[in-house]
Structure 1
Amino acid sequence: MQGVRRRTGWPVTWTVIGICVLVWAAQWVTRLVTPYDLSTILGYAPALTDTQPWRMLTSGFVHAMPSPVHLLLNMYTLYLFGRMLEPLLGGWRFAVLFLLSVLGGSVGVLLLGDPWVLVIGASGGIFGLFGAMFVFMRHFRNSVTSILVLIGINLVFGFLVGGIAWQAHVGGLVMGALTGLLMLPGLRGHR
């Protein structure tokens, strides 16, 4: 039928994954051929907020080096939640949810973190997806036990393991839940 656009795949999810993978590859190349480290150029530390506020967003696309574990865990989780949430929200709403959650994670670090500690990773954005999923599951009267267990395990893990910015997890979770609440009116009739 002409004039009807069919939504296929998860273009925003794949775009974010692609950007993170490309940035990680650029981190490798930069590390090999220059004295610079992209994570120190793009990562976020609260002390830099006044002079370099864009880092609050760019930090969500940079991951730890040299092991790919940080990148792989975040991208796998993004894939799992993106394929559920992007079709429900549509591409632009899903993009807004993810980006606001990354910013929310940085605000969590700003309010609760050490001003001089650099943080990187998509975890704030991913925790935002967790928060929105919780809101949507409650709204549609689905059992929230599984998402609460997932959130709980990941929060505890962040508190117990050193080098994880639990502040970004909390900030992203809160922002994702708030953004999900604001997006509920557009979901009427969806299940």
Structure 2
Amino acid sequence: MASASVGFQCPECVKEGHRSVRQPKRFTSARIGFRALPVTLSLIGVNVLVWLSITLTGGAGSRIADFIAIRLQGYCRTPDGGFAVPEGVCRSSGYTWMPGVDDGAVWQLLTSTFTHVSIIHLAVNMLSLYMLGSFLEPIVGRLRFLVFYLISGLAGSALVVWAATPAGSTVGASGAIFGLLGVLVVLFVRAGQSLSPLLPVLLINAGITFFGNGISWQGHVGGFLGGLVVAWIFTQFRADRKAPLQWAALGGFTVLLLALVGVRMLMF
């Protein structure tokens, strides 16, 4: 989740996953059209529409981007940029106040996961989302895939709120995508499959996360950990008779993430 791309670019790994994980025959159609991947393609569509709205309203200087990117601390937007002052001072000076999560802009916890400014950032993230979605959506189901994406994004945002610079803005779907990568890891392990096809992807993305310029390691790590948790819940309560427990556990994890954000807001 930053102004740089997620880096997941390994079609061979996804293909290997298709070969090594037991799956119904209907999965073979997972890459052909909207009816096969409605959630994946819809998420891509939303990300593209948000990028278009930002591009058409000023790109990096768009007020839309400022409004939906995540930051803990609000800031005063001026023609020359912005600076951190109390909201009252900003408004009394005739400038625009852009709120942060601590000011009540809690929507940023999720809207930031659909926000991109750079077309390269968007393109690489959407390619990664498509490759992961083409494998995962048929396995976990449409609704669960959507929930996993959103909760992973929320987990990434929660760590951003706790560990990133309070006045810094973070954008991008990378936290949610790293969460889906975490889901894939858990499914491989639970199926007794070797992680060797995924190791190059994991190592490359670890390098990008911790050594890349302008990368939000908080969003990547938080999203990945969130994906591990939701996948563990999915595999622990997979039987139909355990579905209520699965949804209750996912709901409980979501509440925990929101509570962690709330605690950070109280501390700030």
Compute the TM-score of the two structures, normalised by the length of structure 1.
0.88
SS in structure 1 of the partner of residue 46 of structure 2: helix
Superposition map of 1:37-186 within 5 A: 37-47=63-73, 48-50=100-102, 51-65=104-118, 68-184=119-235, 185-186=237-238
Measure, in 1, the Cα distance between the counterparts of 2:159 and 2:200: 22
Per-residue CA deviation, residues 121-148 of structure 1 (Å, 9 max, x unaligned), is 0000000001110000000011112323
CA RMSD in angstroms comes to: 1.7
Compute the TM-score of the two structures, normalised by the length of structure 2.
0.63
Q: Please say if residues 116 and 172 of structure 2, whose CA atoms lie closer than 8 Å, have aligned partners that are also in contact.
A: yes
Q: Which has the larger radius of gyration?
A: 2
Measure, in 1, the Cα distance between the counterparts of 2:221 and 2:38: 27
CA distance 1:23–1:187, shift in 2 (3 Å):
farther
Pairs aligned (count): 178
**Superposed displacement of residue 46, structure 1:** 2.2
- 1:30 aligned to 2:49? no
**Superposed displacement of residue 155, structure 1:** 1.9
Amino acid at match of 1:37: R
Structure 1: tracts of 5 or more residues without a match: 1-6
Identity %: 35
Q: Please say if residues 43 and 59 of structure 1, whose CA atoms lie closer than 8 Å, have aligned partners that are also in contact.
A: yes
**Superposed displacement of residue 187, structure 1:** 6.7
Measure, in 2, the Cα distance between the counterparts of 1:36 and 1:157: 27
Amino acid at match of 1:132: V
Measure, in 1, the Cα distance between the counterparts of 2:183 and 2:134: 14
Moved more, 143-152 or 44-53: 143-152
